[in-house]
A and B are shown apart, each in its own frame.
Chain A
Amino acid sequence: MSATGGPDRVSSVSGRRRAKDRAFTVFLWTCGGLALLPLVLIVVYVVGRGYSALSVNFFTKEPAGPIDPAAGGIAQAFLGTGIIVGMAAAFSIPLGILTAIYLSEYGNGRVANVIRFVAEILLSTPSIVAGVFVAAVLVTAMHTFSALAGSIALTVLMWPVIARATEEILRLVPQDLREGALALGIPRWKVILRVVIPTAGAGILTSIMLALARGLGETAPILVTALGSDFISTNPGQPMDALPLRIYNYARQPVEALQTFAWGAATMLLLAVLLLSIAARILASRQQRRLS
């Protein structure tokens, strides 16, 4: 039916047309194969070179001195990533969900269009620009690089992801559900809290996971705001380390042990991000089946 037809019909077209069609089919399969290649190669190499770095010290110690760098670890980077991304999530999740609720439930006026426009602009802003902008304002004002500035730079990048994706999910919630609840005399805020959000729950979770995956991996904006550090620190007003920064710094060191650490950190980062985004996709397709 939708196939090109059986072999009988193909053989009835002229040789040149058949050859072109064959060549095209080969081209399509090549594209499919080529697309598979990078992910496999990246995962195999990163994990293959990184797993030997994973030891207890790696997760629990600060970097050791230059005499025996292999004895140290990058505990401060794990902690720092947790704090910076955690703060960014604490800012951007409520902000993003509230924005989405406003846009989908109340927003038809000019304000809503302006917000949508801003989110759209932020989505296509290169991440280094967001970082430089926050650095120019906040780091200059605070006179120091800080984890807080890093998390605000991440918020600028994560908020629009959550806002736009959540808005789309909320719009998928059937209008009948809202109207049914309103007809029962339930106030609007309660309808949103008890009917709309629970129905869209999995979808909202998906958008949060995608934003987290993005925040975990961003390097450039953190580099110019949180700077990085060799020591464990929990003070958000001070410079702090993060996994991507460690990878970036260690990758360019001529010391073999540090390069191995970079691969180890990349392995952990890659696993976290891949798990998040695959789980998000599975959740999303389930949700879509439920709502349609």
Chain B
Amino acid sequence: MLGGQGEPAFRRFGLGFLIGRNWDPVHESFGALPYVFGTLVTAAIAIVLAVPIAVGLAIFLNDTHGWFTHPLAIFVDVLAAIPSVVYGLWGLYVLGPVLQNHVEPFLTDTIGRVPLLGRLFQGTPTGGDLFTAGVVLAIMILPIVTAVSREVIAVVPRDLREAAKALGATRYETIRMAVLPYARSGLVGATMLGLGRALGETIAVSMVVGGGRSIGFGLFNAGSTIPSVIASQFLNAQNIGFHRSALLALAVVLVSIALVLAAASRLLVRRTAKLVQAPTAESVAEGPALRISG
């Protein structure tokens, strides 16, 4: 159905629809590359920021037993319930200015001086840019990535941890050598689920991303993502010509990516569950070797 509505745009513009750089409804020219670029960059920032924290948090919640673990788990879960428009409002007036005045100049002064990598962090901080959108997305996907990571880590057999500890492994070594190798594919699955969420997030992103159309190295440039451009242009898109059809075609692209990611994520999480369901002598032998390095 949706495919049918977007088809005229696909047929008219072909591959140019995805790799063209010019999006100009007035002159009926539609190239979505800046939006695809913005979507990928913001989602990548979100993943880089959120996944290490989410995995650390999942290990923390599974490994530590104190009065604070249960409330903390609830806290993180509740984060998922906050409406995206509230994230957007907060990102626009609170987080954006903080990033603009403190974090972004700091990054420019430190990492910005490193060759190559530094190019990402140069430019004028504006607060409404790809970087801000990425940070907001990171907060938004933290709960789901944490929840799935916890599930995955929780199914790693106790025997393995205890064996590692019995061999004298420290907590770090136990997790590094007995837990993470088993949970790895599941953790990749959790990451993909988070990526899917980040790609599809609309309102919060469109409020903080700045609305530009640049393609370049700088993370401090204003950009747009596929969902944000759909949200901001759909109401003005007439059913004459290709504007509306182009936006629907974008929706098709978006939903296809999201579905592929969701399917892959389920497969990977299931594989972990299966791997640890029957921890026979074989699977342990081919699994992680419990080596303790000095």
Contact = CB atoms under 8 A, between A and B. Distances in A.
Interface in A234-267: 244, 247-248, 251-252, 259, 262-263, 266
Contacts of B92: 251
Contacts of A31: 52-53, 56-57, 60
A163 B86 CA distance: 27
A12 B227 CA distance: 56
Given A32-B72, A129-B200, 13 more contacts: A10-B170, A20-B170, A24-B172, A27-B56, A30-B56, A31-B52, A32-B57, A35-B57, A46-B89, A128-B200, A217-B85, A224-B234, A251-B93
B146 interface: yes
A277 B81 contact: yes
B86 to A, nearest CB: 5
A132 B247 contact: yes
A17 B171 CA distance: 10
Contact of B2 (A16, A129, A227, A266): A129
Given A45-B90, A126-B199, A39 B259 contact: no
A269 interface: yes
Given A35-B76, A248-B203, A251-B207, A124 B262 contact: yes
Nearest to B255: A129
Contacts of B254: 126, 128-129
A47 B196 CA distance: 30
Contact of A126 (B76, B200, B235): B200
Given A35-B53, A46-B90, A24 B171 contact: yes
A223 interface: yes
Contacts of A25: 171-172
Interface centre among B85, B227, B239 (most CB of A within 10 A): B85
Contacts, number: 209
Range, interface on chain B: 35 or more
A28 interface: yes
Interface residues of A, number: 72
Contacts of B53: 31, 34-35
Interface in A127-143: 127-129, 132-133, 135-137, 140
A248 B262 CA distance: 29
B108 interface: no
Contacts of B239: 140
Contacts of A247: 85-86, 88-89
B200 A244 contact: no
B83 A269 contact: yes
A16 B294 contact: yes
A28 B56 contact: yes
Contacts of A133: 1-2, 251
A28 B259 contact: no
A13 B172 CA distance: 13
8 residue pairs, one from A and one from B, having the closest CB atoms: A217-B83, A126-B200, A31-B56, A124-B262, A277-B81, A24-B172, A21-B170, A220-B202
Contacts of A262: 89
A36 B203 contact: no
A276 interface: yes
A17 B230 CA distance: 52
B258 interface: yes
A219 B83 contact: yes
A80 to B, nearest CB: 14
Nearest to A42: B90
B237 to A, nearest CB: 10
B276 interface: no
Contacts of A175: none
Interface in A173-202: none
B106 interface: no
B190 to A, nearest CB: 14
A52 interface: no
A13 B170 contact: yes
Contact of B86 (A4, A42, A132, A259): A42
B112 to A, nearest CB: 23
Interface in A94-151: 120-121, 123-129, 132-133, 135-137, 140
B72 A35 contact: yes
B82 A248 contact: no
B151 interface: no
A14 interface: yes
B60 A29 contact: yes
A276 B81 contact: yes
10 contacts: A35-B72, A36-B75, A42-B86, A120-B262, A137-B1, A220-B84, A223-B203, A224-B231, A259-B93, A266-B85
Nearest to B57: A31
